[in-house]
Structure 1
C-alpha cells in the first residue's frame, strides 16, 4: 500500500476533510537531505518559508543547520521575527508604500534584515524609509538569469549596489531565481548553468565598483542539486520541505519523498466513470492544466481533471481504483505552495499514521 494512503487510513476517523496532512518523518528526511547536500558543497541553506508559513517547520530547518530564512514579503518576515528568527532575507523587490517603510525599519532594528532590490527608485525609497538607520538594512541585488521575472541584467548589478552604498544602505550581494528550471526534466541543469553564469557576471559587476559580495544566493528546489559552483554561497529552496507532484515529474524528488498531501473525501458518484471530491480550488489551488491534471491521487494514475471552488472532478481510470462515496483519499498537489495558504493548521502525523498533532500555519494571510 502507498505510504500516504497507509498513514491516511490510520487517521481517517480522527480528521475532517479536506485537510492538509504532513508526514513529519518524511519532511524531516527532506530537511536533513538538503542540509547534508549543502554542507558537502560548502553552502549555506536559507529556506524559503513561503512554502510552509509555519514557525515550527522553520525551527526544524534552523535546527538542522539553516543559516536563516527567506521570506516573500514583510508580513511573513514579521511573523517569523516575532517568533525569534533573527536572520531574514526578503527575496522580493519591496516597494515601501503605506506602512511598509516603518515596518521595515522596525524589523531592521531587531534582526539582521536584508531585502531584494532591482531598481534605483526602490533603493531610494528604502533609504528614505530607514533614514539615519540606513546602515542597519542590507540590500541584495536581484539579477535575471533567464526566468524573465524580476531582476536586472547581471552586468547592471554593480550600479545598483553602488547606489545603495551611496545612500547608506549595506550592499550585501546578489541573488537570482532560475524559475525556468521548472519547464521540464531537461531544463533543470540548463537553468542552473544560466544561474551560475548570471551570478558570476553579477559578482564581477560588484567587484568592478569596489564591492565584494558577502552573499551570492541561488534558488531553487528543482535546481538545487546543480548549485555546485564555488561562486554560490547560499541556496534558497522552499518546496523541498514537502515536495509535490511537480518536483517528482521534474526528477527533483521521488514519490516517496512527498511529505504533504490533502485528505479528500468522495462526496458524489452521479456521473458514470467519475466521482467528485471535496477538494476544489479553495483546498488545493488551481495549479495544473486539463491535460496534466490539477492534482493526483497517491498510489494511482488518477488525476483531478477539473476544479470548482469546492468540487474536484476525478475521472476513474481503468483498473481497480473505484472509490465509493465516503472514501477518503490522499490528494497530492502539483504545486504545494498554493495549498498551505488555504488552511489555518496542518494535521501532522508520520508514515504509520499513529501520531497526530496540529501545527499552525502561522503566516497564513500575511501577504503584504
Structure 2
C-alpha cells in the first residue's frame, strides 16, 4: 500500500487519479455503445476538475441537485445543466433560476401542476422542464400514467416540456439493482408514450443510477444520470456493483488506538458521514482488507473490527477507508488530494459546490 508521505495530516480524502479516469471512461463508453447520452450527477463530486473530465469524455452536460450547485457549475463555464429535483420556486429562488436560464441551457424538474405554475410565475419560461415520475422508489415523482397531466399544466403555463426523468433509488439493496432497472424501464416507457402523444419534438427520457446504469435492460431511456460511479463507495461494494479496484476515493486515516481485534481511526462521522443503510454490514470498509468493518462511528473516531486473517495495523499506521456513502463524505471536505498510483500527490482539487444546498 502507498505510504502517502506527501500528505502531512489525516484524515484526508484521497483520489487515485488513474482509477478515477478509468471509471469516467468506462461509463462514458458504456453509454456511448448503447446510444445513450450521459449526464452525470455532479452532486457526488461537487468538483469542477472532475466535471470537466466527464464532459471531455463525452458527457452532454451535468445533473445537479440544487440551484446553488447549478450556479457554481455555470460560473465555471458549464452550459447545459439539469436540476434533477422537483423544485418549489418562490420569488427569491425564481430570480436565481431566471438568471441561470438567461446564460445557459437550464432544465429543472417538476412533479406537480402547482410546481410548474410556480416555476413559470416566479422564474419565467426560460428554463425547460422534465416531469419526474416514480419508478418504484416512492420518494418524489408522479405515477407514469399521470406524467402527461403534469406536462400539460406546464405547457399551459408557457414552459418548454423537454421530457421525463426518474431515479430508481430502490436499487439500493442486495439483489435489487436488476429488478429496479426493469421497473425503471417499464415506468419510462409508459411515461414517454404518454408524453409523445402530445409532444411536438423529441423527448429526453432520463434515468439511471450507479447500481442500475451498467445493466443492459431494454429501455425507452435516452439519457443516464449516474453519480457515484466516479468514486465508488462501500455501498456499491456491498451491492456487488464494483470491485475494490474500482474505488477511486478513500479517506486516509491514522490508527490512534489498537487492542485485540479493534482498531480506532481518526476519521469519524465528520469525515466519512454517518450513513448506514439497514442492509449495510458496517459504517464503511478498509480498502484492501475486505473483511474489516467499521462497527461504530463517533465524530472523530471510527471503530474497526479487524479480521484475524489480516495483519492488524499498529499505532500511527495509516489505512484507507472506503466511506459508505461517498457523496456525504465529499460534502464534508474542503478539498480532495489527488494522487498517483504510487501515492505521490499530484494536485488538490477544491470541493467547489460544498454546502450548496439551496
Report the TM-score range of the alignment, normalised by the length of the smaller protein: over 0.9
Alpha carbons 1:53, 1:361 under 8 Å: kept: yes
For the residues of structure 2 that align with 1:221 and 1:213, how far apart are their CA atoms? 26
Alignment pair present for 1:239 and 2:232: no
Pair 211,162 (structure 1): closer, same or farther in 2 beyond 3 Å: farther
1:24 to partner: Cα distance: 0.7
Structure 1 residue 276, shift from structure 2 partner:
1.5
In structure 2, what is the Cα distance between the partners aligned to 1:71 and 1:187? 25
Q: Residue 350 and residue 313 in structure 1: after superposition, are their counterparts in 2 closer, same or farther (change >3 A)?
A: same
Deviation at 1:205, TM superposition (A): 1.4
- How far 1:57 moved relative to its partner? 0.2
Kindly indicate whether residue 9 of structure 2 is the aligned counterpart of residue 16 of structure 1: yes
1:140 to 130, 140, 158: 130
RMSD: 1.5
Residues in 2 aligned to 1:361 and 1:13: alpha-carbon distance in whole angstroms: 20
Match of 1:283 among 267, 271, 275: 271
Aligned to 1:194: 183
Name the residue aligned to 2:115.
122
Match of 1:223 in 2: 212
Alpha-carbon distance between aligned partners in 1 of 2:31 and 2:344, rounded to the nearest angstrom: 32
Is this contact kept in 2: 1:346–1:358, CA < 8 A?
yes
How many residues align? The count is 356
**Matched residues in 2 for 1:332 and 1:210: separation?**
45
The alpha-carbon deviation at position 129 of structure 1 amounts to 1.2
Separation of aligned partners in 1, 2:139 and 2:303: 33
* Higher normalized helix content (fraction of residues): 1
Query: Is 2:237 the counterpart of 1:248?
Result: yes
* Aligned mates of 2:162, 2:153 — CA distance in 1: 13
Determine helix, strand or coil for the equivalent of 1:110.
Answer: coil
Give the match for residue 257 of structure 2. Answer: 268
> Unaligned 5+ residue runs, structure 2?
none
Q: Structure 1 residues 201, 211: closer, same or farther in 2, change over 3 A? A: farther
Distance in 1 of aligned mates of 2:327 and 2:273? 9
Correspondence 1:1-368 to 2 at 5 A: 6-7=1-2, 9=3, 11-97=4-90, 99-131=92-124, 134=125, 136-184=126-174, 186-229=175-218, 231-269=220-258, 272-288=260-276, 292-300=281-289, 301-368=291-358
**Aligned counterparts of 2:127 and 2:346: Cα–Cα separation in 1:** 41
State whether residues 181 and 191 of structure 1, in contact with CA within 8 Å, keep that contact through their aligned partners in structure 2.
yes
Deviations 1:53-74 (A, max 9, x none): 0000000000000000000000
Shift of 1:354: 2.8
Structure 2 distance, partners of 1:295, 1:121, is 41
**Which moves more between the two structures, 14-23 or 94-103?**
94-103
CA contact (8 A) 1:12 1:328 kept: no
Which ranges in structure 1 are unaligned for 5 or more consecutive residues? 1-5
